[in-house]
Structure 1
Amino acid sequence: MGTHVIKMPDIGEGIAEVELSQWHVKVGDLVVEDQVLADVMTDKAMVDIPSPVHGKVIALGGQPGEVMAVGSILISIEVEGAGNLKESAAPAPVKDTPAAAKVEAIVESKPAAAPRSAAVCQGPMVAREANERPLASPAVRKHALDLGIQLRLVRGSGPAGRVLHNDLEAYLAQGQSNASAPASAAYAQRNDEEQIQVIGMRRKIAQRMQDATQRAAHFSYVEEIDVTAIEELRAHLNEKHGASRGKLTLLPFLVRALVVALRDFPQINARYDDEAQVITRLGAVHVGVATQSDIGLMVPVVRHAEARSLWDSAAEISRLANAARNGKASRDELSGSSITLTSLGALGGIVSTPVLNLPEVAIVGVNKIVERPMVVKGQVVIRKMMNLSSSFDHRVVDGMDAALFIQAIRGLIEQPATLFVE
């Protein structure tokens, strides 16, 4: 028998250290070639580290949340024969899956050497020890928590008994959810506590939000917009072209409004390097669209929005959002934005104060659409109204310019034909 030592790989872009986010194996596990061993986190991406060999895990080089230098020992695997006596870095990491739920089935075509226990193969419910932590991705753990399911009771169909989203659905289908507990349990006293280590993507989000609020001079501006006309236009276009071109949401109209308004406000389509004291104004409009995923907020980028039609923007927004939520968005798709659009959809509330996505200097927030009685030409009529709650970096953008910019967007949305008049 020999030992194969895997070192933390060089992920590129001059990165000298990465955070160990999650282990998918433990000491004593049998692993197969290409099985995912661990997830590591760079500044922008979650990266899978696969095994280059078959063998048995004999040592782990760090704990989740630990920041490890490139070249440090990640894991040691016992292999048949002499083994790889020359210590080596891990094989090329699987293509980065930034800030999204991991793809659990990455090695389902190569099953692990043996299931964790005989109970694993006996239906959707399985009995584990109370302190046994089943294998599952952060996204699956959050999903289980939202559903009120104890993961230790769920049979895992993934490699080495890993619990997948499908396993949660199978568990619910069998009626084993905690939701079926007696109603009286809802009034029982609870004294349980749970400590959740802030690691991985959640740590990166926390650091970015803290950095943004500490470095930028935030100020917000809120304006009410009548979206009745543009909603009528959207409904008409969907009825006429939806089957052939795809359905339009409000977002591509807002992207178009940003593009047109920024022509007169180039100082807002900019990035500010506060260390070098340099403002870079961009001709291209790269719109970041804030997207919620299972493990946190991500901002995929609609590049060159100035050159896209409504349907082109709509298709790209949909593609990027799905990629982000499914863990397939690339590093390039999550970086390089020049201004961000953020929306909570129907949960958008009345007013919000969005945090800047540094080094950008503006973020436009969309609140929910509500019907209100409004006075129009002396008559009280029902109109569809929506607020834009936007934030700016006062170090770069003056208050007057911010207000005029939002008013320009308002004019374009309320008179939607002007979005397309050149």
Structure 2
Amino acid sequence: MSVFEMKLPDVGEGVAEAELVEWLVAVGDTVTPDTVIAEVLTDKATVEVSAPVDGEVVALHGEPGDVLAVGSDLIGIETSADPDEIEALIDDEADAAAPAVVPDDDDDDGGGGDPTEEMEQPVASSDTVSADQVTAAPAVRARASSLDLDLATIDGTGPDGRITHADLDRRLTQSSRRASARLAHTSATRTLDSAPDESHSTPVRGVRRRIAERLSTAWSEIPHITYVDDVDVTELERLRATLNDDADDTRLTILPFLARALVIALHEQPAINAHYDGESETLTTFDAVHLGIATQTDDGLRVPVVRHAEGRDVWDLATQIGRVSSAARDGSATRDELTGSTITITSLGALGGIATTPIINPPEVSIIGVNKMETRPVWLNGSFQPRQVFNLSSSFDHRMVDGWDAATFVQRIKALLETPALLFVG
């Protein structure tokens, strides 16, 4: 028997380090090459790392939240395997497909990457199933662990029995009915004078820490200029209602029309569909429009990408926006679906307020923000008329985009949305 010291592997895209998110094994556990031992977080993805050999875990190097260098010690496994066989096995795995990932592109930096489908552990065929054997995304596993829920006791309603966040919610709802009576009784026996002052400190780790780091960097390094203008979408709403009445499956929201307007405006101002590298002082413009759709998920903000928006009509855009947003929310999106955006749309929907100041998703140079739609009195043809209006709040990297160009860009989008027939010309 000998102890094999497994190193943190190169998890792709040339990253030099990764954050240890969670250990999925403990000292004394028996592992096989099918055992997922840990989850680590890079700039691009949460990556599941598997053991390379059979054996017993004798050492764990690092605590959740630690940032480890690629090539540093990760885990010690006592094994009877021959050292030469171990090295050969590791070489074979390095030549195989990339490890399973669930991308965490909270505010994606626009970098490229090979598409990598999420790989999952198969559900055991026996009657006894452990939490490690059920099918669930890392985000779902992490949430279940934080809620002290045993995944093996939960029925998955997702594809192939996959456990989703909705399944966790369902279990919590069932449990809360029993807990609510106890909570009501406890609350009734407390008084304001006897209630203790309580606070809870939680380490900021994983996706939330990555979001905090990226937003801080974007805000401190990019001089933002935010331009806000209102858009009368009364005619667009009439057209949208008509198209939806005639539609079979796809339902059109405002977003695909905005995406189409964005494509047309970018064709006229291509320098806004760009990445800026401050270190090399290089602006890279793109012919293709890879549209990021900022999406709120249980794990924070993600930016799934609709690729080649310039080649899609509003129905196709609607389908793709719905598809990638759903994939981001349920944790099934691939790395390729959450990287490589060239410009981003962000929307708070009904919570959109009057105006926002969206933070740019670096290295992009612009972000388009949609605020909530409301009926406003608008002076039109000599009288006030009720019109459906929302504001666009759009931020630009002022190093690369002048105020005049930003205003021209937003005004063009406004004109296209207010005369929606123009969206279907050409």
Q: TM-score scaled to structure 2, two decimals?
A: 0.82
Offset from partner CA, 1:290-348 (integer Å, 9 cap, x none): 11122121111111111111111111111211221222222222222221110111111
Q: Which runs of 5+ in 1 are unaligned?
A: 117-134, 146-150
Q: Which moved more, 1:59-68 or 1:105-114?
A: 105-114
Q: Closer, same or farther in 2 for the Cα pair 1:174/1:299, shift >3 Å? A: closer
Shift of 1:372: 1.9
Shift of 1:104: 11
Seq. identity, %: 45
C-alpha separation in 2, matches of 1:328 and 1:109: 21
| 1:83 matched residue in structure 2 | 81
C-alpha separation in 2, matches of 1:136 and 1:283: 34
SS in 1 for 2:124: coil
Shift of 1:114: 8.7
| 1:185 matched residue in structure 2 | 187
Is residue 384 of structure 2 the alignment partner of residue 380 of structure 1? yes
| 2:425 matched residue in structure 1 | 421
Higher helix share: 2
Counting only pairs closer than 5 Å after superposition, residues 17-416 of structure 1 correspond to structure 2 as: 17-79=17-79, 82-85=80-83, 91=93, 94-99=99-104, 106-109=121-124, 139=140, 151-152=147-148, 154-157=149-152, 165=165, 166-176=167-177, 178-180=179-181, 181-182=183-184, 185=187, 189-241=195-247, 243-244=248-249, 246-416=250-420
SS in 1 for 2:207: helix
SS in 1 for 2:288: coil
Q: Closer, same or farther in 2 for the Cα pair 1:144/1:63, shift >3 Å? A: closer
Shift of 1:278: 1.7
C-alpha separation in 1, matches of 2:393 and 2:213: 23
Q: Closer, same or farther in 2 for the Cα pair 1:95/1:397, shift >3 Å? A: same
SS in 2 for 1:18: strand
SS in 2 for 1:263: helix
Q: TM-score scaled to structure 1, two decimals?
A: 0.83
C-alpha separation in 1, matches of 2:185 and 2:425: 60
Q: Closer, same or farther in 2 for the Cα pair 1:24/1:215, shift >3 Å? A: same
Q: Residue type of the partner of 1:43? A: D
C-alpha separation in 2, matches of 1:36 and 1:112: 21
Q: Which runs of 5+ in 2 are unaligned?
A: 107-117, 155-162
Q: Closer, same or farther in 2 for the Cα pair 1:254/1:115, shift >3 Å? A: closer
Q: How many residues align?
A: 391
C-alpha separation in 2, matches of 1:143 and 1:387: 39
C-alpha separation in 2, matches of 1:13 and 1:104: 18
Shift of 1:361: 0.9
Whether contact under 8 Å (1:302, 1:316) holds in the other structure is yes
Whether contact under 8 Å (1:30, 1:112) holds in the other structure is no
C-alpha separation in 2, matches of 1:291 and 1:111: 38
C-alpha separation in 1, matches of 2:272 and 2:403: 11
Q: Residue type of the partner of 2:46? A: M
Q: Residue type of the partner of 2:211? A: I
SS in 1 for 2:425: coil
